[in-house]
């Protein structure tokens, strides 16, 4: 996304166009599970970096373990948690998907979040199996991955037709050898990976269907951003136009063990 568009979409997870829909789903799930269990949740944020998701979840009263390979990101996470007054509910652990079972006990998590990390692992199926293994029975996975068709559309609209075709037909959804993402996913592929890990998909919807394509000048006010958020939500959930979700820059999946 162009820098000027990023600057035009300020806000935390609750208000940012890039994170609002995902946060709304995660927050609703967390609230429902807290009510069902009668206690705060035990959450694992795999690849959670500096705590953009972990700190808001901890602010709701839950314990969050962030597993990330970067010591610098974890140091920033600790500062962020301290500044937000939730340091006692946030634990920073160095690790990744391959070492998850070495740094976190099996069957101990009520929720595992993996947002924007599955694209980088060596073996997505094995990584999902590890995430499922740390979940308690009835626990949930919140998975956010980059989608293939979004980059196909973006490249085509930019006049980069060869790259669009490559992304459309390549097994990994990349637009070429210099693509910064190691892979992108299709919704059916993700559903199969979840099933292979013993997880049942309960909800799946595209995120940022229009946001990454809209010029910054069109979202220059709070009213514009609110209208765009409303459009995104309506398109992602419209019963007659479910195909629009496949055009979202990312796919958000909630699955249950």
Tens digits of per-residue pLDDT, 17-33? 678 889 999 999 999 99
Enter the pTM of the model.
0.89
Domains of the chain: 3-147+185-256 (3.40.50.150), 148-182 (no CATH)
How confident is the model over 142-170, as a mean pLDDT? 96
What is the residue-averaged pLDDT of the chain?
91
Which residues, other chains included, contact 18 with Cβ-Cβ below 8 Å and sequence gap of 6+? 9, 208, 211
Rounded CA separation 161/128 (Å)? 33
């Amino acid at each position: 996304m162009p820098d000027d568009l990023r600057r035009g979409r300020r806000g935390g997870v609750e208000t940012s166009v890039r994170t609002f829909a995902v946060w709304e789903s995660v927050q609703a799930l967390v609230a429902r599970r807290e009510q069902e269990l009668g206690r705060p949740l035990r959450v694992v944020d795999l690849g959670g970096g500096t705590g953009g998701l972990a700190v808001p979840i901890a602010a709701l009263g839950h314990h969050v373990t962030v597993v990330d390979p970067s010591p610098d990101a974890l140091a920033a996470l600790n500062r962020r948690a301290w500044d937000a007054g939730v340091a006692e509910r946030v634990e920073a652990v160095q690790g990744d998907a391959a070492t998850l079972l070495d740094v976190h006990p099996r069957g101990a998590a009520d929720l595992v979040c993996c947002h924007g990390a599955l694209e980088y692992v060596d073996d997505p199926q094995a990584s999902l199996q590890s995430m499922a293994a740390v979940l308690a029975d009835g626990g949930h996975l919140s998975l956010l991955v980059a989608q293939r068709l979004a980059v196909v559309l973006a490249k085509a609209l930019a006049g980069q037709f060869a790259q669009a075709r490559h992304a459309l037909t390549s097994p990994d959804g990349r637009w070429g050898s210099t693509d910064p993402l190691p892979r992108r996913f299709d919704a059916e592929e993700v559903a199969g990976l979840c099933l292979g890990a013993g997880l049942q998909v309960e909800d799946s919807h595209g995120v940022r269907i229009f946001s990454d394509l809209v010029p910054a000048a069109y979202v220059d006010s709070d009213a514009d951003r609110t209208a765009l958020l409303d459009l995104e939500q309506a398109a992602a959930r419209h019963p007659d136009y479910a195909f629009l979700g496949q055009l979202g820059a990312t796919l958000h999946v909630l699955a249950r063990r």
